[in-house]
Each structure stands twice: as C-alpha cells, then as structure tokens.
Copies of this chain bind each other. A is one copy, B any other.
C-alpha cells in the first residue's frame, strides 16, 4: 500500500515582532501565502507574554489578522476547546511562556487534536513559544520554567527541536551566564535530536516533507556530536525533516 502523502503546512516563526516593525508585520506575506483562501484562524493565547490576559492577547492578534482580511477567534472563548481545534481552518499559536503554553495544552487535552488536524493539512502558524512547541520537546526553550507541565514532550510536528530568538554570543560581554550555543551543546549531552536556532526575522516553512528557511538571515543548526552549521535561505535543509 502506498503511504499517503503528508500534507503538513507549517510556518514556524522565530519572533512575532522584529526590531523596528509592528506585530506580525515582517511575516505577513508568508502568513497570507500559507493561509491562501482560508478566511478564519483559531488563536491559542495560552503562552500569555508578560502575563497578559487571554482576552487582551487575542485582541492584539485579532487586529493583525484583520489587517490581512482574516477573522481570528481565541480558543479560550470556546465552550469546548477540542471541538474548536477540530473545526478550525487554521491555527495560530502566539509567543510568551513555553512552559505555561504546553501545560495548558496538556490540561485541555489539545495535543492530539492539533497533531491530527496538522496531519490532515490544516495550516499551523507559530511564533516564538508557538514555534517551540512544534518541535519534539520544549527542551531548548529560552523561557523560565514558571509552571510545571506534565511532560516536556511537545507537538512533534517536526522531528527536531527549535530555539527561537537564537542569539549569537556577544564578544564584548563580561557576563558569566552560558551562551545559547553552550546551552544547546549541554542539551546534546542528554538528547539526540537536531536543534535549529532561528534568529529573529527567520521562519521555517514546512510543506509536506519539504522545508525551507525564509527571511534574510541564516539559521544555526546543531547536530549531536558535530560542530554547529550555518544554513542560508535557499540552502537544502530537508535532511532535518527525516526521522531521527
């Protein structure tokens, strides 16, 4: 029996807001291209950046999507969040705290419904924490563990981990905290999956089994036991989509 073609349509964005541009402005064209003729998006506000309420966060996201001619509703408004996912044309998960986001997804039993819909071709957009949870685990988040989720296992829409807001070491820093690269190398002492460091302004576009890097910057890719590699937009990064 021939394996059915995967239909994944993902847009994994490093940050919602780049320096000097408005909310979702730098990725508006890519979001429109992903959504095509879809007219509505279900918003997952659980990550609550800065502790903002679900309502206030949804209002902010709504404004940005309305600019693109798309209706947005917050999942917290639904009586049954699982049904809301099942009926969604597309899902957008906003940034904030990754631990809080994942804990809520577990509490509301939303991981499996989201995975199923994505397998069937429903577009998924994530920014920051929303991008983080698309990976295998949240083990490479930059966030503070402000709440305890029942597991670090995430949506696993891609077979690697993500590090949004990837930051290069500052050569002038006198601070003794670990660099991002050191942290990811520590991760690889205990975990084998690749890690993609997505700099601000970068995005990963997944279409079926193919993946491309969008934006102007290169991405830093960490494979266990190997030197970090840089890939530019246009480079072939499909090897990352192969199962590990």
Give the interface residue-count category, chain A: 35 or more
Residues of chain B within 8 A of A100, CB atoms compared: 186, 190
Residues of chain B within 8 A of A142, CB atoms compared: 144, 177
Q: Is the interface of A mostly helix, strand, loop or mixed?
A: loop
Query: How many copies, total?
Result: 2
Those of A116-154 within 8 Å (CB) of chain B = 138-148, 151-152
A22 interfacial contact with B, CB 8 Å:
no
Residues of chain B within 8 A of A200, CB atoms compared: 175-176
CB atoms of A139 and B145 under 8 A apart: yes
A147 to B145, CA, bound (A): 12
Shortest CB distance A223–B (Å): 15
Shortest CB distance A45–B (Å): 14
CB atoms of B146 and A190 under 8 A apart: yes
Residues of chain B within 8 A of A20, CB atoms compared: 174
A48 interfacial contact with B, CB 8 Å:
yes
Residues of chain B within 8 A of A99, CB atoms compared: 145
Q: Which residue of B lies closest to A103 (CB)?
A: B190
A177 to B51, CA, bound (A): 15
A32 to B20, CA, bound (A): 51
Contacts A19-B176, A167-B175, A176-B15: A185 and B144 contacting too (C-beta < 8 A)?
A: no
Q: A22-61: contact bitstring with B at CB < 8 Å (1 yes, 0 no)?
A: 0000000000000000000000000011110000000000
A192 interfacial contact with B, CB 8 Å:
no
Partner of A176, one of B48, B50, B165: B165
Q: Hey, which bits of chain A sit against chain B, CB under 8 A?
A: 15, 17-20, 48-51, 96-97, 99-100, 138-148, 151-152, 165, 167, 174-178, 182-191, 200
What 8 A-B pairs are tightest by C-beta distance, nearest first?
A51-B189, A19-B174, A165-B177, A146-B187, A144-B183, A15-B176, A148-B152, A51-B186
